[in-house]
Each structure stands twice: as C-alpha cells, then as structure tokens.
Amino acid sequence: MNLAAAVNENFANYSNYMIRSAMFVYALAFLAHLAEWVFGGRSKVAVQSAALVAPDARAAAASQAPAVQVRRGGSTATLERPKVVTRASASDRGIADGPGAAGGSERGDLYGRIAVSFTVVAWLLHLTGVVFRAASVQRAPWGNMYEFSTTFGMVAVGAYLVLLALKKNVRWIGLFLTTTVLLDLGLALSVLYTSSDQLVPALHSYWLWIHVSCAIISGAVFYLAAVGTLLYLFRDHYEAALTAGRAQNGRWGDVMRRLPAAATLDKFAYRMNALVFPLWTFTIIAGAIWAQAAWGHYWEWDPKETWSFITWVAYAGYLHARATAGWKGRKAAYLALIAFACFLFNYYGVNIFVTGKHSYAGV
C-alpha cells in the first residue's frame, strides 16, 4: 500500500469514527429533547381554549383603531381607516401558538437548551465526518447512497440550526429531527455503507458538485417541511376537537397544546416548500445537462429521471393547490406528504430496487 492510499484509508477511518461519535451525541440530544417534552408538560400551562380569540373581539379591536385625519385648507377632515382584506389559512381558527416543547416550564426549557447544545456538538462532529470522507475519496462526498445519506442528515440538521440562529420558533422540530437523523445514520452505516474508493465513471464530473448538492439541500428542506405538514395534520385535528367543545386531556392533549397553531405549522410547511422548489427545479435541469455531457441525451426517461419529474409535478401541484382557495388546509397537506413520499421513493426505491443508468447505490 502506497503512502497516498494509506492516508486515504486513515481519513476514511476518521470519518467513520466521527459519524459514530455524532450518532452518540445525537442520541444525547434526543434524550434531552424527550425530557423537554416530558417535564415541560408538568408546567402550569393555560388551557389552549383560553387562547381562542373571538371574532367579535377582533372586530372590536379593529374598530377602535385610530382614524386618519387630513387637513384641507383651514378645516380638518376625518377619513375612515380602509379595510384590509387578507386571505386567512383554512386552519386559522384564531388559536394562538402553544408555548413550545418546554411548555413554559423552567425545567423543560433547560432540557431544551441542553438538547440544542448537544445538537450543535453532534452537527460539528457530523460535519467533520463528511469532510474526512471527502478527503479520503478526494472528491465530493456524495458519490453513493452512504455518502448521500450522511450528507443529507448533516444538511437537514444544519438547516434547523440556521432557523434557530435566525430566532425562528422551531425548537419543536428537534425531537423529530434527532430521531430521523439517528435512523438515517444508522441505516447508512449498517446497510448502505460503501468503501471510499468506489465511484461510477459517469460521476467523474464537476456536475457532481452542482447537481447532487442541490438535490441534498432540496431534500433536507423538503424534510423539514414534511415534519411541519405532518404535525399540522395532528394539530388541526386537535384544534377541530377543541373548537367543537371536546376536551383533549391526557398526555396527547398536553403535547398538542404545546405545538404551534395549525395555521402556523401550515404556513411554515408552505414557506419551506415554496422556498426550495426553485432549487429542486434547477436540480432537474442540471441533471439533464449532466446527462447530455455523460450519455449524449438530455432526457431518456430513466427511472431516476422519471421519479424526479414525478416529484417535481407533485410539489408543483401542491404549490398550485395552495393558490386555490378550495385546496387549502388538509387537502393540500396530504398532497405535500405524497410529494415527499415520491422524493423518498426516488432516493431509496429507485436506487436500491430499480435498475437504470443511475444505479450507483453501491449496496
């Protein structure tokens, strides 16, 4: 074994060690987030129904807004405040956001902060593992499913931390994110692992950096949106029961009342999907350009190409549905989850079970 090969092997070993270390710290973050939800539920949180704002009260508040006065010559004319018409979400029942996973409890909030700290440390270890993998193969670290999976998890956690740094109220994602990342890394190490010297010849291109990195970022943001969408469906069901006068007590009700309002979750999911959809569109276009350079054809309806297009159509349908009044709320949410399921099948199903030109899973 020459010196270069030995160095690459050492980098690969360091990468595996860092990924396993990240999994351990992610597990600590998961436990801390779990404690945040458990101990936060023991705080004296007001019943969610108290947050209901009656439409009459909102109308009264609006009517008390100061009018606009305009001077005309020596006299003063009073103008009525113009009415502002907004299109509310289908799930907007005037219910305020919940207090968060910590439930307003000092103890729960402490566990939540500890969980975020563990997540930051785990992400740094995770990032280091991905960088060492890139050093071991001397290329972009996403040439097979193992590398894609580890990088995907890193980008998803990174996007979550960016939202936290921007002071967005998204700590409720933490428990679900750490659970998913642990599953993702566990699957990558146990089932999808590929030694660092494997690379399909068609992937030797600068488009590997452009096309696949865009796909990873798109998938990570789609995942965050899917979490918001799924929780929206549960929270919307809870709010419907609440407004119908059916009390939601017990542990399930306690968890639901601490989540953001259904309207907030719906808005979060929509904004995430709308934000990254243009990047997913560019991902497909970049893939077509790469296909022309590698195989001489922009589009051949390869299974990967086909399911990428199906995913694009599904998300385009979702965004169009959101612009149509009759498809707001739960109907659009179901369509968003179907679109994300298409993305998952495009990654796992097509790469593992379907043979095509994109069959470079390495497993």
Least-confidence region, from 9-13, 83-87, 176-180: 83-87
Give the tokens for residue 335.
């369509």
**What is the rounded distance in angstroms from the CA atom of residue 246 to the CA atom of residue 339?**
33
> pTM of the predicted model, to two decimals?
0.83
Q: Is the pLDDT of residue 58 over 80?
A: no
| pLDDT of the residue at 64 | 47
| pLDDT of the residue at 274 | 95
CB 15 within 8 A of CB 133: yes
b/e code 176-199 from CB counts within 10 Å (16+ = b): bbbebbbebbeebbeebbbebeeb
Query: Which DSSP state fits 83?
Result: P
Q: Which of 293, 233, 275 is nearest to 91 (CA)?
A: 233
| pLDDT of the residue at 161 | 97
Query: Between these two residues, 143 and 361, which has the higher pLDDT value?
Result: 143
Total length of the chain: 363
Give mean pLDDT, residues 249-273.
89
What residue ranges in 66-209 does DSSP mark as E strands? 68-72, 75-79
Q: What pLDDT digit, counting tens, does each position of 30-41 carry?
A: 999 999 999 887
CB within 8 A of 130, min separation 6: which ones?
A: 15, 141, 150, 151, 154
| pLDDT of the residue at 231 | 95
Share of residues in the chain with pLDDT > 90 (%): 51
CB 136 within 8 A of CB 108: no
Handedness of CA 318, 215, 279, 292 (dihedral sign): negative
CB 51 within 8 A of CB 95: yes
What residue ranges in the chain does DSSP mark as E strands? 68-72, 75-79
Q: Is the pLDDT of residue 47 over 70?
A: no
The structure tokens 């498809």 sit at: 327
| pLDDT of the residue at 133 | 93
Identify the three-state secondary structure at position 298: coil
Give mean pLDDT, residues 139-156.
91
The confidence band for 51, taking pLDDT boundaries of 50, 70 and 90, is very low
Round the average pLDDT of the chain to a whole number and report it.
83
Q: Is the pLDDT of residue 293 over 80?
A: yes
b/e code 299-334 from CB counts within 10 Å (16+ = b): eeebbbbbbbeebbebbebbbebbeeeebbbbebbe
**What is the rounded distance in angstroms from the CA atom of residue 151 to the CA atom of residue 123?**
11
Give mean pLDDT, residues 241-269.
85
Give mean pLDDT, residues 172-177.
95
| pLDDT of the residue at 104 | 86
Give mean pLDDT, residues 177-199.
88
- CA atoms within a 13 Å half-sphere pointing along the CA-CB vector of 170: 23
